[in-house]
Amino acid sequence: MKIAVIGVGYVGLVTGVTLSDIGHVVTCIDVDPAKIVKLNQGIPTIYEPGLGALLQKNIEVERLYFTADHKKGLEGAEVVYIAVGTPQREDGAANLDYVEQAARDIAANINRGIIVVIKSTVPVGTNVHIKNLINQNTIDGVRVQIASNPEFLREGSAIKDTFHGDRIVIGTEDKETADILEEINKPFNVPILKTDIASSEMIKYSSNAFLATKISFINEIANLCESLGANVEEVARGMGLDHRIGPDFLRAGIGYGGSCFPKDTNALVQLAGNARHEFNLLESVIEVNNNQQVLLIDKIMSRFGTIENKKVAVLGLAFKPKTDDLRESPSLVMIPRLAELGANIIAYDPIAVPNARKHLSTAIEYTESLDEALRDTDFAVIITDWPEVKTIDLSAFSKLMRTPVVFDGRNCYSLDAVKKSAVEYYSIGRPSHTPEPIG
């Protein structure tokens, strides 16, 4: 089938590449000419494991194209996916400006009926609104059908999630549209759930809100464990063995970030408010997460009293491993705060340094060398649990640092290993460790 995808950000690019890989002819459209030039050369514009190989493969077999020309990109398309961003407004609601612009661009450049699929995360009611917007602006009475097909991709494993996902959700107003989209997605060999449009829109928000709730819950338990002398890892393990709860997303740390959870939880609270429903639970989830992101600052100040002129290694900038995405990363909160308190900061990340330079105005030093980051520092703060950080020999801290004091926001190391080291160690929801003096 001939498909167009509007937007080549994270979701749009992965969608276009994977749809082409299962046999469809896909043209991706974006208003950024620089992106189009790179993508037509087979160069990914985002960091995502496995994406580059699929991109090049499907360009070479002439199933995947990129253009900044909407008329050219939409010509002959039977199905058009909208995969543009829906950033958060100041009031927490989703900003639909880019989705509405995509709708106008579709209306201005089609001359026959097509199916428009909204892949972007949008509030309940948006699909119907976009359908009406397109149909009101098409020429010669052309009419479109609308469908909701939310994405459930995890950054760092988006290609795997596409081909081995838990489900594909398709929300439509009629059986014929649902059947066409089911046929498009069959080669993925992933279970397909067909539902009405409003339910499909709600499934996306509800899923992310529930996962965010699990994260904030275990972080609250972690903070209580510290007060009571329990170990949150043992608690989470015991909870996760109950099949009704499960082990996923029960890992304590310094909170969730990224492009989905913060934006979607805020949007759902706003959506509930519009429906005159006070979502007290989710408001608390958001508050817990905001507090959790600065938890290590309190631990640092409790240990040192002052960090004026102390050299600190910040290990990790991205909100999670295997991505260069800094959106809502705790690093964006913690680094400016450490700088305000007078610390001299050297920040390490194997992938995200170029993005960090764009997002952080704080005057800090950057490095892609873990050893360089740790050398002659007074303490280290772990923000992202990169494999390079998790697998480091703990003796490297004592060998490289001026004082081997580590504040671990991701619980990277077993307490048994820490106890055998010369590292002074503070983590989340677990006992701290101070090594015995030598001599």
b or e along 39-64 (b: 16 or more beta carbons within 10 Å of the residue's beta carbon)? beeeebbbbbeebeebbbebbeeebb
- Where do you find CATH 1.10.1040.10 in the chain? 203-287
Judge contact between 102 and 7, C-beta under 8 A.
yes
The type of residue at 1 is: M
Give the position of tokens 């490289």. Answer: 400
pLDDT band at 140 (very low <50, low <70, confident <90, very high): confident
- Where do you find CATH 3.40.50.720 in the chain? 2-195, 293-426
pLDDT of 246 over the 70 cut: yes
Question: Per-residue pLDDT averaged across 257-286, rounded?
Answer: 92
Measured distance CA(28)–CA(6) in Å, rounded? 6
First-to-last C-alpha distance (Å) of the chain: 74
Q: Can you read off the two tokens belonging to residue 396?
A: 């490297």
Residue 140, burial from CB neighbour count under 10 angstroms (0-12, 13-18, 19+)? exposed
**Any idea what the Cα angle at residue 336 is, between residues 334 and 341, rounded to 5°?**
95
Closest by Cα among 25, 62, 27, 56 to 43? 56
Q: Can you read off the two tokens belonging to residue 148?
A: 């909701």
pLDDT band at 90 (very low <50, low <70, confident <90, very high): confident
pLDDT band at 85 (very low <50, low <70, confident <90, very high): very high
Residue 194, burial from CB neighbour count under 10 angstroms (0-12, 13-18, 19+)? middle
For 221-230, the pLDDT digits (tens) are: 999 999 999 9
Question: What does the pLDDT read at residue 88?
Answer: 87
Question: What does the pLDDT read at residue 84?
Answer: 97
Q: Under CATH, to which class is 293-426 assigned?
A: alpha beta
Measured distance CA(412)–CA(409) in Å, rounded? 8
CATH 3.40.50.40 fits 203-287, yes or no: no
Question: What does the pLDDT read at residue 438?
Answer: 56
For 324-362, the pLDDT digits (tens) are: 999 999 999 999 999 999 999 999 999 999 999 998 988
pLDDT of 390 over the 70 cut: yes
Give the residue ranges of the annotated binding site for NAD(+): 30, 35, 86, 121, 155, 263, 327
Measured distance CA(282)–CA(325) in Å, rounded? 24
Residues 6+ apart with CB under 8 A from 384: 315, 316, 317, 318, 319, 320, 321, 329, 331, 349, 410
pLDDT of 141 over the 90 cut: no
Question: What does the pLDDT read at residue 361?
Answer: 86
Q: Give me the percent of the chain exceeding a pLDDT of 90.
A: 93
Q: Can you read off the two tokens belonging to residue 152?
A: 């459930």
Judge contact between 106 and 77, C-beta under 8 A.
no
Closest by Cα among 371, 427, 83, 79 to 223? 427
For 114-126, the pLDDT digits (tens) are: 999 999 999 999 9
Give the residue ranges of the annotated binding site for substrate: 152-155, 204, 249-253, 257, 320
Give the residue ranges of the annotated binding site: 30, 35, 86, 121, 152-155, 204, 249-253, 257, 263, 320, 327
Question: Per-residue pLDDT averaged across 175-196, rounded?
Answer: 98
Instruction: Find the length of the chain.
Output: 439
Question: What does the pLDDT read at residue 28?
Answer: 98
Residues 6+ apart with CB under 8 A from 136: 107
Say which DSSP state 100 is in.
Answer: H
Compute the mean pLDDT over every residue in the chain, rounded to the nearest whole number.
95
Task: Annotate 360-373 with DSSP letters as a single string.
Answer: --S--EEES-HHHH
Task: Please tell me the pTM assigned to this model.
Answer: 0.91
Q: Is 28 a catalytic residue?
A: no
Q: What is the CATH number of domain 2-195?
A: 3.40.50.720
Question: Per-residue pLDDT averaged across 363-391, rounded?
Answer: 97
Helix axes 10-21, 51-60, angle to 10 degrees: 50
For 30-69, the pLDDT digits (tens) are: 999 999 999 999 999 999 999 999 999 999 999 999 999 9
Residue 91, burial from CB neighbour count under 10 angstroms (0-12, 13-18, 19+)? exposed
Question: What does the pLDDT read at residue 362?
Answer: 84
Measured distance CA(130)–CA(100) in Å, rounded? 7
Region label for 382, one of left (φ > 0), alpha (ψ between -120 and 50) or beta (otherwise): beta
From the candidates 28, 225, 260, 412, which is the catalytic residue? 260
